[in-house]
């Protein structure tokens, strides 16, 4: 019998503070269809997330969405990749046991050469430095708070204002953090 396919409504309801850490040389890889349904994942993905490959393949990628992540982060992600551009960003993910892990994610669209259409997306993630997590986590918290009162537009404005204040593009900001820079 085919196993039930998962989405965020199947994710654990009570996240806890158990952090899993990626090793320095680990890469978490997944591929999705154009809607965000997982069509491939590597073994490190299954180990970190705590699901079996058969649970993950065919499931929505949002099964590992952590409630500490602001909506705007994913709105931006999809806006970028649908434009056939590369996305970089820090993501806190939810494990099957309620724990979490941080990653530095890179997502790229896979383009069919004959039609020029997006056929899938590939994401490669590596360990995020602690200095980056220490800086991005409170920003995501502020964005979440902004979303509670003003919706996703308010958190987008908050991020835009912060980037303008520091005279950085989003990509410069994220790449600097990954290199260990302080804001």
Ligand X SMILES: Cc1cc2nc3c(=O)[nH]c(=O)nc-3n(C[C@H](O)[C@H](O)[C@H](O)COP(=O)(O)O)c2cc1C
155 binding ligand X? (CB under 6 A): no
What DSSP state is assigned to residue 166? T
As a whole number of angstroms, the distance between CA 5 and CA 132 comes to 33
SS3 8: helix
Q: Is residue 22 a contact point for ligand X (CB under 6 A)?
A: no
The answer to whether residue 36 forms part of the interface with ligand X (CB under 6 A) is yes
For CA atoms 131, 140, 107, 126, the dihedral sign is positive
Tell me which residues in 88-127 interact with ligand X (CB under 6 A): 91, 93, 107, 121, 123
Letters for 38-67 (x = contact with ligand X by CB under 6 A, - = none) are -----------------------xx-xx--
Least separation, in Å, of the C-beta of 166 and ligand X? 25
CB 127 within 8 A of CB 26: yes
Nearer to ligand X, 11 or 158 (CB): 11
In the three-class reduction of DSSP (H, G, I as helix; E, B as strand; rest coil), residue 17 is classed as coil
Helix/strand number for the chain, H first, E second: 5, 5
Residue 77 or residue 159: which is nearer to ligand X going by CB? Answer: 77
Using CB under 6 A as the criterion, which residues of the chain lie in contact with ligand X when the complex forms? Answer: 8, 30, 32, 36, 61-62, 64-65, 74, 77, 91, 93, 107, 121, 123
């Amino acid at each position: 019998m085919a196993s039930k396919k998962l989405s965020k409504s199947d994710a654990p309801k009570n996240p806890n503070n158990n952090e899993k850490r990626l090793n320095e040389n680990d890469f978490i890889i997944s591929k999705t269809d154009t809607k965000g349904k997982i069509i491939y994942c590597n073994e490190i993905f299954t180990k970190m997330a705590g699901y079996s490959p058969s649970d993950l393949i065919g499931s929505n990628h949002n099964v590992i969405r952590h409630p500490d992540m602001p909506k705007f982060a994913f709105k931006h992600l999809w806006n970028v990749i649908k434009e056939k551009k590369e996305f970089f960003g820090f993501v806190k993910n939810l494990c099957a046991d309620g724990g979490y892990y941080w990653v530095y994610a890179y997502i790229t669209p896979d383009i069919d050469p004959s039609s020029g259409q997006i056929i899938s997306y590939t994401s490669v993630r590596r360990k995020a430095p602690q200095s980056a997590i220490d800086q991005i986590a409170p920003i995501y918290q502020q964005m979440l708070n902004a979303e509670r009162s003003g919706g996703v537009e308010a958190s987008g404005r908050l991020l835009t204002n912060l980037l303008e204040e520091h005279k950085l593009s989003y990509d410069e900001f994220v790449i600097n953090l990954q290199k260990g820079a302080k804001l």
